Chain A
Amino acid sequence: MEVSSASEPGSRSLAEIGFAAVLIAGAIVVIVTASAYPGESATYPLVIGVALAGLGCWILLREVLRRRRGHAMAGSFAEHGPRLVIGLAALVLYILAVSQIGFILPSVALGVLLPASVGFRRWGLSFVVAIVSVVAILLIFVLALERPIPPDILSPLGRLFR
């Protein structure tokens, strides 16, 4: 994504407005939800909600006015759009996979596939790093600290090796 010139507002400026709008909407939800709470529980969130709504309007109006005057926030929102999408997708898929089939396999996959998907092709290195990380995690968390890991499809395999 190219850096936009000042005369033509880039995605950064839009994101600025978009986020402020989301913030105001969120603040309104907070205010509405909190009004239903009994008196002393409601005061604190109400005050914050109102303040956030006000500050959100400030940011929103400021950016809108700046656009009118022709000096909107320059630049684009993401540093590299396509790779950001890859990163986000990887993040969502990874968490989803961990919640479904456990920690070990998705972690190794993430360690190898994420670098590869943005053009890193030293497979051996990324594979070794992924394996070493997973082993280190299992040693520290499971063995030393007795912390459980998410339910893993590999756990039953453990029986075979004992």
Chain B
Amino acid sequence: MIDALLHAVPLVFAPMNILAMIIGVIAGLVVGCLPGLTVVTGLAVLIPLTFGLDPLFALGMMAGMYNGGSYGGAIPAILMRVPGTPASVATVLDGYKMTQKGQAAYALQVALLSGVIGSVLSSIALIVLSPPLVSFSLLFGPIEYFWLGILGLATVSSLLGDDLPKGLIACGIGLLIGAVGQDISNGTERFTFGQLELLDGFSAIVLLTGLFAVPPVLQMVEEAVKTGMSGDKLKLHAQGSVLRQWRYFMPVWLRSSVIGIIIGILPGAGGSMSSFLAYNEAKRVAREPETFGHGNPEGVAASECGNGADNAASLIPALALGIPGSGVAAVILGGLLVHGLRPGPQLFREHPDIVYGFMLQFLVTSLMLAVLGGLAATRIFGQVLRLPRIVLAPVILLFVTIGVYSVNNAVFDLWVLLGVGVIGYVLERLDYPSAPIVLGLLLGPMIESQLRLALTISGGRTAALVSTPIAITLALLSAAILLTPAWRKLRMSA
């Protein structure tokens, strides 16, 4: 391995390949920060263009795009309360509050460095730990995925807000939306009302964008503020430097990275779950959990670090087994195949320089992100905020509209955006939290389908659900997460 790594170094740092990585990171930042556009879209366009090119050129672009895109989502999440990707929803919770407190630049820096730390650790895990992590990921079958979904849903306990029934209602609404569409095991159409567009259910990106982007636009119109943010809110001075506070963030970073890497190697779990789990864990162990959701930088750090750590890790099962750990990894697999690189153990034997080169590119692009991401966020994107807020409102709407349209190229989705946006506004006005909706929406289908698969395979025996050590561990963890807030309250009152 060391040998292969050394061989790969000159390839990775060839001028053309460095250029490829820079292009990739920038392109990733662009697609990531635009709501509705995802890294998957960017890669799908990119792959056919890389046909005749050197594999490491193409792979460098892909690695850059993956890393850039995962941080890109945090920029609008922090600055405008509009998550660019599903994974940055948890970043909104504290990130936007920090912006409101005048700490926009600091919040961006926290997000960036946390994302970079997560990506770097994840890349190292990819390089060093691939084989053992692969065998770990194979231990997960339907039973384990069911419990993993429950574990993810349990983190809702940290997102419920101050009013318990309202938090639960929000979660229920999300679960219900997740049930829309064709039931894959018998073809029953649930709540589709004869609409072809709903057979596959609502698109998560469309819902998310409507839920998070439309309410602030309406609010901006209501407020009709005719001035913009002052320029110095975007300068870092007097807002604190994350690098100098590394001791403070280190525990959060380590925990979140481990969570992100574990979720990353499990195909089908995905980035948003990593960030929610990491956020929940940071809040759970915090001395003052009540400060989360009110602009605690640790919340931003946990969410973005978990999200960044998910990236390279999701390629572990993809490279070693050909099982993509995320939508992006699936497209990257397609890109590898185009270059004749067939995933599996033989890939490491036959093309070690390319495999390890690709892994190194993940590491290098994470570090590039630290520079490029910071520039993009404050120098370009941040400056947009200096526009009068009332002028900014239609701009957000334009980008959201086109982004949502391009998800499925369907006008239908624009009406969904409108409907969901208005409902989102009402919910927000009535203090219903939005994050549980997202969690329910993303995890509900996974929980239901995996439970039914598990029961089909076991022949209907419910006892099978607690028949493996991992299942029992996950179940106990879920219970611990759910009970922590209650236990804390008990201890406080005692």
Contact = CB atoms under 8 A, between A and B. Distances in A.
Contacts of B429: 12, 15, 77-78
B185 to A, nearest CB: 7
Interface string A25-60: 000001001100110110011001101100110110
B222 A78 contact: yes
A107 to B, nearest CB: 5
Contact of B165 (A55, A78, A86, A115): A55
A110 B390 CA distance: 12
Interface stretch (B4-12, B80-88, B262-270, B408-416): B408-416
Interface string B209-229: 000001001110111101000
B467 interface: no
A145 B405 contact: no
A94 B397 contact: yes
B472 to A, nearest CB: 24
Interface residues of B, number: 60
Contacts of B406: 141, 145, 147-149
A2 B472 CA distance: 55
Contact of B391 (A33, A49, A129, A148): A129
Given A40-B185, A78-B429, A99-B411, A147 B41 contact: yes
Among the interface residues A45, A86, A103, which one has the most CB atoms of the partner chain B within 10 A? A45
Contact of A140 (B34, B188, B190, B448): B34
Contacts of A115: 388, 390-391, 393-394
B430 A87 contact: no
A111 B418 contact: no
Given A110-B398, A111-B394, A148-B406, A38 B222 contact: no
A159 B256 CA distance: 53
A108 to B, nearest CB: 9
B393 A79 contact: no
Nearest to B415: A95
B169 A52 contact: yes
Contacts of B448: 44
Most buried by B among A15, A62, A95, A144: A95
Q: Which of A56, A58, A88, A91 has its CB near the most chain B CB atoms (within 10 A)?
A: A91
Contacts of B214: 91
Contacts of A126: 391, 394
A91 B218 contact: yes
A66 interface: no
B414 A95 contact: yes
User: Which of B175, B214, B391 gathers most chain A CB within 10 Å?
Assistant: B391
Contacts of A150: 405, 411, 414
B226 A40 contact: no
Nearest to B401: A98
Interface in B91-141: none
A21 interface: no
Interface string B409-446: 10100110110011000110110000000000000000
A96 B216 CA distance: 21
B75 to A, nearest CB: 15
Interface string A89-120: 01110110011000100010011001100111
B402 to A, nearest CB: 5
B30 interface: yes
A33 B191 contact: yes
A80 interface: yes
Contacts of B165: 55, 58-59, 62
A59 B169 contact: yes
B169 A56 contact: yes
Nearest to B452: A40
B426 A19 contact: yes
Interface in B160-205: 165-166, 168-169, 172-173, 175-176, 179, 183, 185-186, 188, 190-191
Given A52-B173, A55-B165, A87-B218, A15 B398 contact: no
Given A129-B387, A141-B402, A83 B394 contact: no
B272 to A, nearest CB: 20
Nearest to B395: A133
Nearest to B220: A87
B37 interface: yes
A118 B389 CA distance: 12
A144 B46 CA distance: 10
A120 B391 contact: yes
A37 B41 contact: no
Interface of B: 27, 30-31, 34, 37, 41-42, 45, 165-166, 168-169, 172-173, 175-176, 179, 183, 185-186, 188, 190-191, 214, 217-219, 221-224, 226, 387-388, 390-391, 393-395, 397-399, 401-402, 405-406, 409, 411, 414-415, 417-418, 421-422, 426-427, 429-430, 448, 452
7 contacts: A91-B397, A94-B401, A95-B417, A98-B401, A99-B414, A120-B226, A144-B27
Given A44-B448, A133-B399, 20 more contacts: A19-B430, A37-B183, A37-B188, A40-B185, A48-B175, A52-B172, A52-B173, A55-B168, A55-B172, A59-B166, A79-B219, A87-B221, A91-B418, A95-B418, A111-B395, A120-B226, A122-B388, A129-B395, A147-B37, A149-B402
